[in-house]
Structure 1
Amino acid sequence: MDEAPAAPDAFESNRRYLGSVAYRLLGSLTDAEDVLQEAWLRWRAVDRQQVAEPRAYLTTVVTRLCYDQLGSARARREAYFGEWLPEPAVAEEDSPAHRAELGESVSLAILAVMEQLTPAERAAFVLHDVFAVGFDEIAASLDRTPDAARQLASRARRRVRDGGRHSTVDPAEHRQVVHAFAAATTNGDLEGLLAVLDPEVVWHSDGGGVVSAGARPVYGADKVARLILGLTARAFVPGSTASFAFARVNGEPGMVFYEAPGRVGGVLALSVREGRITEAHIVVNPEKLTHVV
Structure 2
Amino acid sequence: MTDETSGVDEFEALRRYLGSVAYRLLGSVSDAEDILQEAWLRWRATDRSRVEEPRAFLTTVVTRLCYDQLGSARHRREAYYGEWLPEPVVSEDASPAQLAELGEEVSMALLTVLEQLTPAERTAFVLHDVFAIGFDEIAGSLDRTPDATRQLASRARRRMKNGGRRTTVDRTAHREVVSAFASAATRGDIQGLVALLDPEVVWHSDGGGIVSAGVRPISGVDKVARLVVGLYAKFIAPEAGVGWAPVLINGVPGMAWHDAEGTVFGVVVFELTDGRITEAHVVVNPEKLTHVTRITVTS
TM-score range (shorter-chain normalised) is over 0.9
| Superimposed CA distance per residue, residues 173-221 of structure 1 (whole angstroms, 9 cap, x where no aligned partner) | 2222111111111121111100000000000000000010000000001
Q: 1:170 to 1:238 in 2, by over 3 A?
A: closer
Partner SS, residue 57 of structure 1: helix
1:83 and 1:257 map into 2 onto residues whose CA distance is: 20
Q: Secondary structure at the match of 1:260?
A: coil
The residue number in structure 1 matching 2:246 is 246
**Does structure 2 conserve the Cα–Cα contact (< 8 Å) formed by 1:169 and 1:273?**
no
TM-score (norm 1): 0.92
User: Could you tell me which residue of structure 2 aligns to residue 181 of structure 1?
Assistant: 181
One-letter code aligned to 1:13: A
Point out the more displaced range, 203-212 or 142-151: 142-151
- In structure 1, the residue matched to 2:297 is none
Compute the displacement of 1:147 (Å).
2.0
| Superposed counterparts of 1:123-202, under 5 Å | 123-162=123-162, 170-202=170-202
1:221-232 aligned within 5 A: 221-232=221-232
In the other structure, the counterpart of 2:83 is: 83
What is the CA-CA distance between 1:163 and the residue it aligns to? Answer: 5.0
1:153 Cα deviation from its structure 2 partner: 1.6
Q: Displacement of 1:272 after TM fit? A: 0.3
Cα 1:122/1:164, change in 2 over 3 Å: closer
Q: Which amino acid aligns with 2:196?
A: V
Amino acid at match of 2:58: L
How many pairs were matched up?
A: 290
User: C-alpha root-mean-square deviation of aligned residues, in Å?
Assistant: 2.2
Give the drift of 1:238.
6.6
Aligned to 2:110: 110
Q: Aligned partners of 1:168 and 1:221: how far apart in 2?
A: 25
Query: Which deviates more, 277-286 or 125-134?
Result: 125-134
- Tell which deviates more after alignment, 162-171 or 129-138: 162-171
- CA-CA distance at 1:67 after TM superposition: 0.2
Task: Output the amino acid matched with 1:247.
Answer: V
Deviation of 1:97 after TM superposition, in Å, equals: 8.5
1:84–1:127: structure 2 CA closer, same or farther, 3 Å change rule?
same
Segments of 5+ residues of structure 1 without an aligned counterpart are none
TM-score normalised over the length of structure 2: 0.91
Query: How far apart, in 2, do the equivalents of 1:163 and 1:56 lie?
Result: 28
Quote the Cα distance in structure 2 between the aligned partners of 1:187 and 1:245: 16
Q: Which residue of 2 aligns with 1:16?
A: 16
1:25-104 equivalent positions in 2, closer than 5 A: 25-95=25-95, 98-99=98-99, 101-104=101-104
CA contact (8 A) 1:235 1:259 kept: no
187 and 196 in structure 1: CA distance in 2 versus 1, 3 angstrom threshold: same
Pair 84,173 (structure 1): closer, same or farther in 2 beyond 3 Å:
same
3-state secondary structure, aligned to 2:240: coil
Assess if the C-alpha contact under 8 Å between 1:109 and 1:164 holds in 2. no
Instruction: Report what 2:286 is aligned to.
Output: 286
* Contact map agreement 1:35 1:65 (CA 8 A) in 2: yes
CA displacement at 1:93 relative to structure 2: 2.6
> Aligned partners of 1:168, 1:87: CA distance in 2, in Å?
21
Q: Name which of structure 1's ranges 45-54 and 213-222 shifts more when overlaid on structure 2.
A: 45-54
Task: Summarize the Cα distance change of 1:268–1:167 in structure 2 as closer, same or farther, 3 Å threshold.
Answer: farther
Check conservation: 1:91, 1:98, Cα contact below 8 A: no
Q: One-letter code of the match for 1:105? A: E
Q: How far apart, CA to CA, are the structure 1 residues paired with 2:143 and 2:202?
A: 38
Note closer, same or farther for the CA distance 1:167–1:54 as it changes in structure 2 (3 Å cut): closer
Once the two structures are aligned, what percentage of the paired residues are identical?
A: 70
For structure 2, list consecutive stretches of 5 or more residues without a partner in the other structure: 294-299
